[in-house]
Chains A and B, each alone.
Chain A
Amino acid sequence: DTGVSQNPRHKITKRGQNVTFRCDPISEHNRLYWYRQTLGQGPEFLTYFQNEAQLEKSRLLSDRFSAERPKGSFSTLEIQRTEQGDSAMYLCASSRQGKAVNEQFFGPGTRLTVL
């Protein structure tokens, strides 16, 4: 079990550019979550997948954001036309459905800086 992995770990981009992040969950976990964390705050829920189905999106997720999880394995989060306010740590977490506890395991995160 290698845990949740995310790539890249750091991304610096110019305003208006598109960026894409990848998350590989723990292999037997069918639930996958994306969160955003800004400095000094707790993580905020963005979106949730169960297998390949995206079941919920936060209102924080504007139409510039899109997430996919093809085949229910890895997931990607794309931000189009980035803005300075998008600068944050983007965290991915996974858990396994069917357990009494929805304990989520977090990846190392991708830190995005928009110049």
Chain B
Amino acid sequence: ELKVEQNPLFLSMQEGKNYTIYCNYSTTSDRLYWYRQDPGKSLESLFVLLSNGAVKQEGRLMASLDTKARLSTLHITAAVHDLSATYFCAVDRVSNFGNEKLTFGTGTRLTIIP
């Protein structure tokens, strides 16, 4: 069974600081997704990482993928309050039925402190 783990689960950081969220998964997959969720809201797609070594950046967020290590990172640079949210990674895997479905990590609740 595919397992996706994130750490840390909770993260409080000061504005202007840098930090990294880690996402480990247990079986081979070449596609990894990062989503953002604000309280009481749905999920917003942030990044899609398709291959080993893939790196994508949007504003203060940068995501990378190492398929050999089964590890993705989401790096936050010079955090601002607007980045406060819960961040999920998800792995796309073809199931035994030949269907693609996402398995989500536990989420990292990020709080940016002024």
Residues of A bordering B, CB below 8 Å: 33, 40-45, 48, 50, 55-56, 91, 100-109, 111
A100 in contact with B50 given A42-B107, A48-B99 (CB within 8 Å)? yes
Does B104 have its Cβ within 8 Å of any Cβ on chain A? yes
**A103–B33 touching, CB < 8 Å:** yes
Tally of A-B Cβ pairs under 8 angstroms: 57
Closest Cβ of chain A to B25, distance in Å, is: 12
The residues of A that contact B90 with a CB separation of less than 8 Å are 42
**A41–B106 touching, CB < 8 Å:** yes
CA distance A33 to B92 in the complex (A): 13
Residues of B bordering A, CB below 8 Å: 4, 31, 33, 35, 40-45, 48, 50, 88, 90, 92, 95, 97-107
**B43–A91 touching, CB < 8 Å:** yes
Q: Is the interface of B mostly helix, strand, loop or mixed?
A: strand
Closest Cβ of chain A to B21, distance in Å, is: 13
A91 in contact with B42 given A42-B107, A48-B99 (CB within 8 Å)? yes
A108 in contact with B42 given A55-B99, A56-B99 (CB within 8 Å)? yes
Which residue of B has the minimal Cβ distance to A97?
A: B100
Which residue of A has the minimal Cβ distance to B101?
A: A45
Query: Among the listed A40, A43, A107, which residue makes an inter-chain contact with B104, where contact means beta carbons less than 8 Å apart?
Result: A43
Query: Among the listed B40, B42, B101, B103, which residue makes an inter-chain contact with A56, where contact means beta carbons less than 8 Å apart?
Result: B101
**B50–A101 touching, CB < 8 Å:** yes
Which residue of A has the minimal Cβ distance to B40?
A: A111
**B42–A42 touching, CB < 8 Å:** no
Could you list some 27 contacts between A and B, CB below 8 A?
A33-B101, A40-B107, A41-B107, A42-B4, A42-B90, A43-B104, A44-B104, A45-B101, A45-B102, A48-B99, A55-B98, A55-B99, A100-B50, A101-B48, A101-B50, A102-B92, A102-B100, A103-B48, A104-B45, A105-B45, A106-B42, A106-B44, A106-B45, A107-B42, A108-B41, A108-B42, A109-B41
